[in-house]
Amino acid sequence: MSTTLSPSFTSRPLVPYAHNYQHGESEPAHQHECAQLIHSLTGVVRVITDAGSWIVPPGRGVWMPPGVRHALHITGQVAARTVFIDPLARADLPATCQVVQVSPLLRELIIAALALPEQYQPHTRTERIYELLLDEIRVMDVLPFSLPEPNTPPLKALCQKIRNEPGERWTMENAAQQLSISSRTLARRFYHETGLQFSDWVRRARLMEALTRLPDRRNGFANFQCKVCFGEAEGFW
């Protein structure tokens, strides 16, 4: 598991790693000093950090900059292909956590890199694959499968209740009533702390919960074909 890995970049700019998870597995909170791209071939990965959570549907990936403390929760049979990246490999690598579209080219480059030697000569096929893989990471499209976490305890508790009861009718009015504040105050505070309107946050929370529940006949969960898996998350709910 990646919690025990300490990648070395003395001979190459990135270290590929393959690991298969069973449904219900998890990795406790940990961090790496390097950047990390986790690509899920099958199954769903939920990534939780202090700043929020991210859902990685099959065929997509999650990018994490160096030093981000995160935990992983697995739904379905997950075939994960991870790339640990030297933070000095490129000056313009993404600076924030984000769920990303993994292009067919990037997917094949990750798979090819697993078979490459650690030591190699300049201007060889191995070097070109490593460099092209880094180039493709720089241009990954970002997908809206993130859920920012508020900072204050009352809003944290409200958001946790919404996640626990996504099927309830969550309106601004009834949420504000639970906190004994006005709807206008809740709207202002919620946007200030999360960067999302309350209704958008609720819709996204429902989307992310659905992504971990949708069944698949082959493995019981998450290798499905639906609009949300192709980047059309906004407006789905």
User: How high is the pLDDT of residue 204?
Assistant: 85
Alpha helices in the chain (DSSP H): 104-113, 125-138, 153-164, 172-179, 183-194, 198-211
**Which CATH number belongs to the domain containing residue 92 in this structure?**
2.60.120.280
Strands 70-75 and 44-49: antiparallel
**Which CATH number belongs to the domain containing residue 201 in this structure?**
1.10.10.60
What is the percent of the chain where pLDDT is above 70? Answer: 88
User: How high is the pLDDT of residue 234?
Assistant: 40
How much is the average pLDDT of 115-131? Answer: 95
Residue 237 lies in a domain: no
Residue 71 lies in a domain: yes
Residue 79 lies in a domain: yes
**Sign of CA pseudo-dihedral 167, 169, 172, 176:** negative
Quote the tokens at residue 84: 């640990």
Number of domains in the chain: 2
Residue 2 lies in a domain: no
- For all residues of the chain together, what is the average pLDDT? 86
User: How high is the pLDDT of residue 97?
Assistant: 92
Do residues 48 and 135 both lie within one domain? yes
Do residues 169 and 216 both lie within one domain? yes
Q: Which domain holds residue 35?
A: 13-118+126-143
Do residues 204 and 139 both lie within one domain? no
Contacts of residues 31-34 at CB distance under 8 Å and 24 or more positions apart, as own/partner, are 31/67, 31/68, 31/69, 31/70, 32/2, 32/5, 32/7, 32/64, 32/66, 32/67, 32/84, 33/66, 33/67, 33/87, 34/7, 34/9, 34/66, 34/84, 34/85, 34/86, 34/87
Q: For the segment 186-218, what is each residue's pLDDT rounded down to a tens digit?
A: 999 999 998 889 998 898 888 877 777 654 434
Do residues 139 and 160 both lie within one domain? no
User: How high is the pLDDT of residue 5?
Assistant: 76
Do residues 157 and 211 both lie within one domain? yes
Do residues 131 and 153 both lie within one domain? no
Do residues 106 and 161 both lie within one domain? no
| 68: amino acid identity, one letter | V
The CA distance from 147 to 196, in Å, is 9
User: How high is the pLDDT of residue 144?
Assistant: 78
Residue 39 lies in a domain: yes
Residue 175 lies in a domain: yes
The residues that bridge with 20 in the sheet, in sequence order, are: 79
Do residues 111 and 212 both lie within one domain? no
Residue 156 lies in a domain: yes
Q: For the segment 8-64, what is each residue's pLDDT rounded down to a tens digit?
A: 999 999 999 999 999 999 999 999 999 999 999 999 999 999 888 888 989 999 999
By the 8 A CB rule, do 40 and 107 touch? no
Q: Where are the beta strands (DSSP E) in 50-150?
A: 52-56, 60-64, 70-75, 78-85, 98-101, 142-143, 146-148
Do residues 160 and 99 both lie within one domain? no
Do residues 40 and 134 both lie within one domain? yes
Do residues 137 and 166 both lie within one domain? no
Do residues 36 and 131 both lie within one domain? yes
